[in-house]
């Protein structure tokens, strides 16, 4: 058990060292994220109407936060798949280290990465004029919900990475992030979509998190009276837990099955 923690930390540290050695790729990721926020906030934002009134930037930032939690799947998946194809995973598995540490270390590193990313995004949002009107407790809860959904997405990413047999598959799955991200209430109010599309978007797990944190931040745009929207706070906990209940065991099973 002691070794499981020590080994997990060694694997996590490996990624922290990556950042110090190649800050360029980290900065590029942040630059991309900030650019998207600026494009939506200043370019597309002017054409957007928030139902029930309100500033689009106030509406946008919770969506940006959540979208970036989703986009983390790609990074997790790529890292896992690369270690597999380059034989690094095999080396770990041939060593007397804790087998759990390989995946736990990855999930911990990605969580740290997400906290950093969120901090930068919040800074960017504050610069653009976004702010939370919620109480400090509600605001903290909102960030906790974001990290919870990120944690669930990490395990989706680990599972997909273990399943992907080549880079083409990784890229294919990664491309799916866009439709999944846009088919939600992250950037566009669902009330402006065709009703059937709006319903799908509202049931997107990402939408529950977005709606819940909009409420907690006191940001505008929550108007739908559907059951899923009315219970967004509950569902922002339920969805990640369901995803974890599915993908955590699948990922662990898949990892164990590498020896078949």
Report helix, strand or coil for 135.
coil
Interaction with other proteins in 18-47: which residues (CB under 8 A)?
18, 21-22
- Which two structure tokens, joined as six digits, stand for 65? 């936060």
Closer to other proteins by CB, 26 or 199: give it.
Answer: 26
8 A C-beta contact, residue 254 and residue 156: no
- If binding is defined by CB under 8 A, does position 259 make contact with other proteins? yes
CA distances from residue 26 to 15, 19, 30, 70, 241 in whole angstroms, order as listed = 11, 6, 6, 17, 29
Between CA 197 and CA 183 the distance in angstroms is: 8
10 binds other proteins (CB under 8 A): yes
Contact code string over 51-90 relative to other proteins, x by CB under 8 A: ----------------------------------xxxx-x
CA dihedral (32, 38, 39, 44) positive or negative: positive
CA–CA distance, 146 with 173 (Å, rounded to integer): 22
Give CA angle at 104 (175, 76), nearest 5°: 15
* CB-nearer residue toward other proteins: 69 or 102: 102
Residue 131 binding other proteins, by CB under 8 A: no
Number of residues that bind other proteins (CB under 8 A): 27
Quick one: 83 or 215, whose CB is closer to other proteins? 83
Closer to other proteins at the Cβ: 107 or 201? 107
Under rule CB under 8 A, residue 93 binds other proteins = yes
Give the one residue of 5, 27, 95, 234 binding other proteins; rule: CB under 8 A.
95
Which residue lies nearer to other proteins by CB, 130 or 255?
255
Q: Does 92 bind other proteins (CB under 8 A)?
A: yes
**Nearest approach, Cβ of 27 to other proteins (angstroms)?**
15
How far apart (Å, rounded) are the C-alpha atoms in residues 199 and 182?
13
User: How far, in Å, CA of 5 to CA of 154, rounded?
Assistant: 19
Q: Which residues bind other proteins (CB under 8 A)?
A: 3, 6-7, 10-11, 13-14, 17-18, 21-22, 85-88, 90-97, 101, 258-260
């Amino acid at each position: 058990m002691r070794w499981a923690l020590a080994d997990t930390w060694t694997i996590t540290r490996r990624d922290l060292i990556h950042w110090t050695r190649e800050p360029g790729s980290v900065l590029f990721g942040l630059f991309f994220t900030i650019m998207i926020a600026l494009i939506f906030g200043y370019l597309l934002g002017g054409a957007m109407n928030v139902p029930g009134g309100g500033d689009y930037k106030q509406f946008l930032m919770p969506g940006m936060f959540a979208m970036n939690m989703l986009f983390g799947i790609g990074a997790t998946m790529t890292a896992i798949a690369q270690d597999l194809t380059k034989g690094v995973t095999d080396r770990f598995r041939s060593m007397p280290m804790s087998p759990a540490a390989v995946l736990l270390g990855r999930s911990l590193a990605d969580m740290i990465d997400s906290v950093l990313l969120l901090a930068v995004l919040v800074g960017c949002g504050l610069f653009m004029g976004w702010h939370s009107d919620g109480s400090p407790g509600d605001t903290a809860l909102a960030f906790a919900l974001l990290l919870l959904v990120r944690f669930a997405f990490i395990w989706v990413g680990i599972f997909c990475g273990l399943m992907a047999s080549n880079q083409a598959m990784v890229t294919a799955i990664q491309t799916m992030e866009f439709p999944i991200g846009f088919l939600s209430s992250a950037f566009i109010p669902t009330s402006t979509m065709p009703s059937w599309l709006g319903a799908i978007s509202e049931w997107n797990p990402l939408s529950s998190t977005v709606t819940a944190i909009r409420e907690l931040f006191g940001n505008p745009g929550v108007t739908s009276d559907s059951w899923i929207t009315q219970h967004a706070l509950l569902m922002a906990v339920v969805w990640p837990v369901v995803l974890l209940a599915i993908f955590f065991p699948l990922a662990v099973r898949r990892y164990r099955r590498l020896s078949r």
